[in-house]
Amino acid sequence: MELYTIKNFPSIKTAYIPISWNIAVLHIPKKSSSHVYPHALTAYITGLLLTVYVVRIKKIALIHALILSQCFEVYFHINYLFSATYHFLIDRFDLI
């Protein structure tokens, strides 16, 4: 299992999260515009699981879970917006 490091949070000196969990949460959409995106609850639960796994202190685990869930949700909305626009232009104007 490959691991990578998170250095964004000062309270986490070195955090390792399995790549397989990351792919399940942060993924690039496929060419289909009907791709299903996780909603806020999924992002929150995943963020909580990741944070509890990484951070042993329960008091800051919830804070990090909330931060991660917000980051994931913003990522999904921006990613979906660009993906939907891209596929609309291709389908509408036969660009490819």
Tens digits of per-residue pLDDT, 59-93?
Answer: 555 566 666 666 666 666 676 777 777 777 777 77
Ramachandran angles phi, psi of 6, nearest 5°: -105, 130
**Which residues in 1-96 belong to E strands, given as ranges?**
3-6, 15-18
Tens digits of per-residue pLDDT, 24-36?
Answer: 444 444 444 444 4
| Greater model confidence, 69 or 7 | 69
Residue spans of the domains in the chain: they are: 38-96
pTM: 0.28
DSSP 25: H
Could you give the CA distance from residue 4 to residue 91 in angstroms, rounded to a whole number?
Answer: 37
